[in-house]
């Protein structure tokens, strides 16, 4: 092994160790934001167990380093990135361990770490100066985008879970209202009986109404925090019912019926997509082996006949 390769591996290992130490410290560097603390209070009251505990703050120990990473992330981020990040965090449920400040810090840290990793990799591969610049830029872009992609993926999976839970929650809400409970009490019943992200959203809506917000405003805030089309439709229908004086029980009953129809349609759509998805592994994996077994002996016989 050449001395240059050994030196490069040693430098990369040292920087990786330093990066791991910094990441470990940053994991607890930011305390819970106001939204995270409020959501933890909601979970304790309505939906216990749906949120994970947050770490203790270590900002006093590495405050200057944290501020440098945050400043770097804010300087590189385009205009409007902070609002987009907060919107994605709302879709992801505002995880207690992922306030917006921590995501910005990790973007700055990832930019530096992966830019250096790209430089080390380009040096080990013996790239030209232009190739080194490209490797550094690609590493920096990947490190900057990785935290945002992680938040986006968590938000997408959470919204899919909300979509799956919505029909059952709406049926329970309809039954509770028709049994004589008020709308707020029925929401509290659903938030208590059904653990999951949808129950957490209902619990947050109840908390906002108890803090003095009007029901229509709380419903509009719920609609703004989700990407599920069905939940948006239900929220806007309830807002219109409240403004027009329409009985909520009838609106909920009709929305529950439509949700059952849509759930059946989604199941049928998934079943119809299955044959198309099966074609690719069938063609790539099964057909070659089948051709070898079926045509192989004939090909060998033909080759033997021509060889004679």
Read off the pLDDT of residues 176-206 as tens digits, 9 standing for 90 and up.
888 888 888 888 888 888 888 888 888 888 8
Whether 83 maps to a domain, the answer reads yes
Q: Is pLDDT above 60 for 280?
A: yes
Dist CA 194 CA 284 (whole Å): 43
pLDDT tens, position by position, 216-227 = 888 888 888 888
Whether 269 maps to a domain, the answer reads no
Q: Which residue has the tokens 């619990």?
A: 203
pLDDT of residue 264: 87
Q: Phi then psi for 275, rounded to 5 degrees?
A: -60, -35
Q: Residue 20 — very low, low, confident or very high, per pLDDT cuts 50/70/90?
A: low
Q: Is pLDDT above 50 for 171?
A: yes
**Residue 152 CB partners (closer than 8 Å, separation 6+):** 88
pLDDT of residue 78: 61
Q: Of 99, 102, 88, which is closest to residue 224 (Cα–Cα)? A: 88
pLDDT of residue 73: 59
The reply to whether 210 and 154 lie within a common domain is no
The reply to whether 15 and 153 lie within a common domain is yes
pLDDT tens, position by position, 26-70 = 444 444 445 555 555 555 555 444 444 444 444 445 455 555 555
Q: Choose one of 110, 137, 158: the last residue of a domain.
A: 158
The reply to whether 181 and 199 lie within a common domain is yes
Whether the CA torsion 82, 88, 91, 94 is positive or negative: it is negative
Q: How far is CA 228 from CA 11, 134, 146, 231, in A?
A: 48, 39, 24, 5
**Residue 92 CB partners (closer than 8 Å, separation 6+):** 98, 151, 154, 155, 158
Q: Choose one of 158, 177, 209: the last residue of a domain.
A: 158
More confident position, 72 or 136: 136
Q: What is the mean pLDDT of the chain?
A: 76
The reply to whether 117 and 183 lie within a common domain is no
The reply to whether 248 and 189 lie within a common domain is yes
Burial of 199 (0-12, 13-18, 19+ CB in 10 A): buried
Domain extent at residue 128: 3-158
Angle between helices 100-124 and 59-76 (to 10 degrees): 70
The reply to whether 146 and 187 lie within a common domain is no
Dist CA 196 CA 27 (whole Å): 25
The reply to whether 176 and 199 lie within a common domain is yes
Whether 127 maps to a domain, the answer reads yes
The reply to whether 154 and 169 lie within a common domain is no
The reply to whether 76 and 56 lie within a common domain is yes
Whether 244 maps to a domain, the answer reads yes
Dist CA 177 CA 248 (whole Å): 8
pLDDT of residue 72: 57
Give how many domains the chain has, as a whole number: 2
């Amino acid at each position: 092994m050449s001395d240059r390769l050994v030196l490069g591996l040693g430098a990369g290992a040292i920087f990786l160790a330093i990066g791991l130490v910094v990441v470990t410290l940053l994991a607890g560097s930011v305390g819970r934001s106001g939204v995270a603390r409020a959501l933890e209070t909601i979970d304790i009251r309505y939906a216990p167990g749906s949120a994970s505990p947050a770490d203790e703050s270590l900002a006093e120990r590495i405050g200057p380093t944290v501020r440098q990473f945050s400043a770097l992330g804010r300087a590189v981020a385009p205009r409007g990135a902070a609002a987009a990040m907060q919107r994605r965090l709302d879709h992801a449920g505002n995880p207690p361990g992922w306030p917006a400040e921590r995501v910005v810090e990790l973007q700055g840290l990832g930019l530096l770490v992966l830019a250096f990793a790209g430089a080390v990799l380009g040096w080990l591969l013996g790239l030209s100066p232009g190739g080194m610049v490209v490797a550094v830029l690609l590493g920096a872009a990947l490190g900057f985008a990785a935290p945002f992609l992680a938040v986006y993926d968590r938000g997408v999976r959470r919204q899919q879970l909300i979509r799956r839970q919505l029909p059952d929650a709406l049926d329970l809400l309809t039954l509770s209202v028709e049994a004589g409970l008020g709308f707020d009490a029925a929401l509290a019943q659903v938030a208590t009986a059904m653990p999951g992200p949808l129950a957490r959203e209902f619990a947050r809506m109840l908390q906002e109404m108890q803090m003095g917000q009007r029901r229509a405003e709380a419903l509009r805030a719920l609609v703004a925090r989700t990407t599920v089309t069905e939940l948006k439709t239900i929220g806007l229908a309830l807002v219109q019912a409240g403004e027009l004086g329409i009985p909520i029980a009838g609106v909920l009953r009709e929305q529950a019926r439509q949700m059952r129809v849509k759930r059946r349609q989604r199941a049928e759509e998934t079943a119809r997509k299955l044959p198309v998805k099966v074609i690719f592994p069938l063609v790539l994996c099964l057909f070659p082996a089948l051709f070898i077994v079926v045509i192989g002996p004939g090909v060998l016989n033909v080759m033997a006949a021509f060889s004679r």
